[in-house]
Structure 1
């Protein structure tokens, strides 16, 4: 997702108290570090709907979804949808009851399996379905069909506020989009709305008035004029695992044009663009930067991860979203972020660069819980800087990163409480601060071949998989052959960042590291009398070599996210 337009913030309402420390014990990838973060959320309250959506229970762990078919008819005039979802799944544990999710404002007409109507109960946005028999683990795939419809949630501020966007283009024609990250795909179609269970593939079949075009994820398999001659059906197929929130539909007066990208090994990737008809000329010019961007990301991480499904940009009535192989684009063909947010001497489209980065981190590598969304957003935000470094050079990448520092808030831990569908969307630290954590790590290691080798290796070893924070930290520690747990514990599980304290002792200056994590040692770059100096800061006072004064010392702010302060005795 795009970061909130700085410096705006989003506040999430909460109602029902959940005992966070207990919840942490039930999820993988947690431990002492996660317990530390939980303390900051002990007073946070959550709705019952949050816990039903976010938590794992036997009704969810007992089955694994392998395939969805989404068949929908769009009623443009009533702003309503109706259809069915066919779901294939494998049973993992014996069960007589499973949980799916669908917002309570949507109506379920029936749930059918093997020709039998199934009983179900609805609790908030959860749907508990009673199976006709106890199903046991087997190689056979079970299929279930849910017939449903209704008027889906309307997004008040897409993409940060999830839902349908019912808009008109500049010629007063229907223009529709959907964005639902965080809020959940279950706001518009029934599914197991849990990030840790991605279907292996999916069919999206949408019927609209024939004057309109539907662009979705993956490849267009069929475009069928129906017998009534007034409607057209578009069948799109996704051949890779996909996050539920990445599934989207885009409806409008689109024209399609295409191009190809040639990878470093000579293989060609299909590039498809769906834009409003009156924007075709400007789009053809703006989208030429896709080629250089894909080359940059291939240089650092490897080939585009959804090769068989192709790469697509689809013009939308909202700013943008990383919908897998069908990226939502609404930056109005402007440089930067609607004309700003990047240095004035740079000319590249923020939405293209950022949302494509999510194809690597967010879509290919995903997390199972919204509380760990930093893996999606921090890596992708740092990829913006890597794109700048590839195009313009390392000094300009640092300059670009420095422009993001004012948006670092340090108000709460980047990793939130698990199991309650809480993504820490109240701020932007899992974007900008997260990017700076990676940048700081790069300079703590002080070895670019090591750092970039680690990034590439981590991505390629985890392509098309789901990870958690502990796996990231453990992988980096093993690759770098040093324990990076204290570093990540400080930056991810505490709001504050490390501080270099200074004090004068006669003509000499002493320094130490003040941090929340006991025993943290941090190599830090300082600038003393205008000259770069690298020090190994610990919690013990140490003396800087040479004569200087506190006024002549600063942190190398282009490489490190570390504060500097004068100790109390020298104030």
Structure 2
């Protein structure tokens, strides 16, 4: 388990859950009961065979753990369509009970605190097939242009336990990483997280490919990628860069990745700190689906195009200057894979910061003004449909606005700070302070309050906990223009820039009416590039 920095938001969570019905299955998957909190995963060692013809898996996972609270029972998760073949501990088969996707395992007696153990969990079955990866979780079984098998998996949100037995919660990651050994038919290669340890012909028509990641890793990041891959290796300033691509795309990939990866690494490491998984290397692995931030083995399926499959999500044309998937999914190595949210209700900690990293890359390569255009162009994608933060303890994400509204919120906070040197120092410190840690929203807010010396809590709350963004109400009152913020939170304060008669003024604006003297509404221009808000003229 990575160091958990968590401050309870129980009351808020109860209020949220009461507004929506959740099932026992949701609570089992998203909650933290004694059978989960009583043990700390130290390591996973996965050893499986994938049969493309039957689209099935058979094998086992060795789960090494340390007892955190005395217990005689632990919860390991495996989707109920997969079979539990047996669970072995100290050479004895254990009794277990299945409840939806949870497997409650009897340890044959209470284990004391700090006691270490290892279970071998044998399993088999046909894992869930994704209908539209990566937006729904599951395996992808396809063929490449040569008719060879091309297999991948993406499970974020749905759960890693759809294909292997695991403590399926973001609150616990293996302290000492994981090994992934995957046997696939001869002529195919499997690429997983971390470093390649070697392969072995099993003399039964299958070859096993062995990988190991030494860093703590999100369970949804553990991955398999099976295809007739070719390997391209490079090293940039001491960081290993490896690309695994379909054979027919080798030359295209060499040129395409060269265009973005090295300048991206220069940018991100200067702003967010050293690549957080240097010991495991950096890989891009070609997949048949669009992409996913699989730690040290980033899934790449953007077809070697600029933008997002040739489109620009910022609606500015700036997004066509780089490969969206390369930049966005690699940004997750810092935000999501290194700095991780304890509950998926706080997934904005992954997606908001990572979407903002796209604008950071634009600023590094094209300058501040282009970055400002880019991040504001993202505003067209904001729906304001529901809060960004989801319901805690029930495996529930909030609004998809966590991406673009989250990015625009960070741009807003940058300009509230109004000191770029301080801002970039703060972003770097945030990334380094919580490197390889698990945190929650309150931890983020507390950090930025402390580092800025401001009370940003109302700002975070408005953007994250309510569907609406701040609305600037404007009215004419005699010879003056009056303004105030309309927000759901009380005591909201956010500075505002306006231009009148060629002069730009910045004022702290509140929920109370304030005057802009000697002005008319048609003469006052409000700067909406630095803050994300709407204007309501009365």
Superposition TM-score, scaled by structure 2 size: 0.96
Task: Find the counterpart in structure 2 of residue 370 from structure 1.
Answer: 344
Q: Pick closer, same or farther for the CA change 1:175–1:397 going to 2, 3 Å.
A: same
Cα deviation for residue 428 of structure 1 reads 2.4
TM-superposition CA deviations, 1:519-548 (whole Å, max 9, x none): 111111234456533221112211103x33
Distance (whole Å) between structure 1 residues aligned to residue 8 and residue 86 of structure 2: 39
Residue 344 of structure 1 and its aligned partner are, at CA, apart by 2.7
Q: Indicate the residue corresponding to 1:344 in structure 2.
A: 317
1:405 to 2:379 alignment: yes
Q: Distance in 1 between matches of 2:524 and 2:466?
A: 26
Task: Tell me the CA shift for residue 38 of structure 1.
Answer: 6.2
1:539 to 493, 501, 511: 511
Give the equivalent residue in structure 1 for 2:54. 78
SS in 2 for 1:189: coil
Structure 1 residue aligned with 2:446, among 462, 471, 474? 474
**Distance across 1 between alignment mates of 2:397 and 2:292:** 16
Any stretches of 5+ residues in structure 1 without a counterpart?
A: 1-26, 263-267
Q: Is 1:146–2:118 an aligned residue pair?
A: no
CA distance in structure 2 between the aligned counterparts of 1:37 and 1:152, rounded to whole angstroms: 32
Q: Does 1:430 align with 2:391?
A: no
Pairwise CA distance, 1:40: 5.7
Alignment-derived partner of residue 292 in structure 1: 263
Give the SS at the match of 1:436.
helix
Contact map agreement 1:37 1:494 (CA 8 A) in 2? no
1:116 aligns with 2:92: yes
How far apart, in 2, do the equivalents of 1:497 and 1:36 lie?
20
Equivalent in 279, 284, 290 of residue 308 of structure 1? 279
Mean alpha-carbon deviation: is it higher for 443-452 or for 82-91? 443-452
Paired with 2:33 and 2:492, the residues of 1 have a C-alpha distance of 37
Asked whether the equivalents of residues 38 and 416 of structure 1 are also in contact (C-alpha less than 8 Å), the reply is: no
User: What's the secondary structure of 2:402's corresponding residue?
Assistant: coil
Which digits, 9 at most, give the CA deviation of each residue in 1:28-77, with x for residues without a partner? 4344xx75676565332223211101101111111000011111001111
Q: Which residue of 2 aligns with 1:439?
A: 411
Q: In the alignment, is residue 127 of structure 1 matched against residue 103 of structure 2?
A: yes
Counterpart pick for 2:472 among 478, 492, 500: 500
1:8 corresponds in structure 2 to none
Q: 1:194 maps to which residue?
A: 169
Shift of 1:556: 1.4
2-side partners of 1:35 and 1:404: how far apart?
33
Q: Whole-Å Cα distance in 2 between the matches of residues 68 and 544 of structure 1? A: 62
Distance in 2 (alpha carbons) for counterparts of 1:104 and 1:555: 55
- Quote the offset at 1:148 in angstroms: 0.4
Alpha-carbon offset, residue 495 of structure 1 = 1.1
Which one of 171, 179, 184 corresponds to residue 203 of structure 1?
179
Q: Partner of 2:87: helix, strand, or coil?
A: strand
The reply on whether 1:63 has 2:23 as its aligned counterpart is no
Computed over aligned residues only, the root mean square deviation of the Cα atoms, in angstroms, reads 1.5
TM-aligned CA deviation for residue 255 of structure 1: 0.3
Segment drifting more, 128-137 vs 504-513: 504-513
Cross-structure match for 1:218: 194
Between 1:529-538 and 1:61-70, the stretch displaced more is 529-538
* Deviation for aligned residue 1:402: 1.8
Aligned to 1:16: none
1:17 equivalent in structure 2: none
Deviates more, 1:35-44 or 1:113-122: 35-44
Counterpart-to-counterpart distance in 2, 1:411 and 1:30: 26
- 1:130 positional shift: 0.8
Structure 1 residues 38 and 350, CA gap change in structure 2 (3 angstroms): farther
Q: 2:360 maps to what in 1?
A: 386
> Per-residue deviation at 1:221?
0.3
CA distance in 2, matches of 1:452, 1:181: 29
Partner of residue 42, structure 1: 18
Query: Are 1:405 and 1:433, in contact at CA under 8 Å, matched by a contact in 2?
Result: yes
> Which of 246, 250, 271 matches 1:276?
246
Give the whole-Å Cα distance in 2 for the aligned partners of 1:467 and 1:344: 35
Shift of 1:170: 1.4
In the aligned structure 2, how far is the partner of 1:381 from the partner of 1:461? 20
- Deviation of the 1:554 alpha carbon: 4.1
Q: Does 1:551 align with 2:526?
A: no
* CA distance, structure 1, for counterparts of residue 16 and residue 434 of structure 2: 30
1:509-548 to structure 2, matched below 5 A, reads 509-528=481-500, 531-545=503-517, 547-548=518-519
Q: 1:381-400: per-residue Cα shift (whole Å, max 9, x none)?
A: 00000000000000000111
Alignment of 1:315-354 (within 5 A): 315-341=286-312, 342=314, 343-344=316-317, 346-354=320-328
C-alpha deviations, 1:244-296, integer Å up to 9, x for none? Answer: 0000100001000111111xxxxx01100000000001100110110000000
Q: Deviations over 1:200-222 (max 9, x none)?
A: 21010000111101111000101
Stretch deviating more after TM superposition (388-397 or 474-483)? 474-483
Gaps of 5+ in 2: none
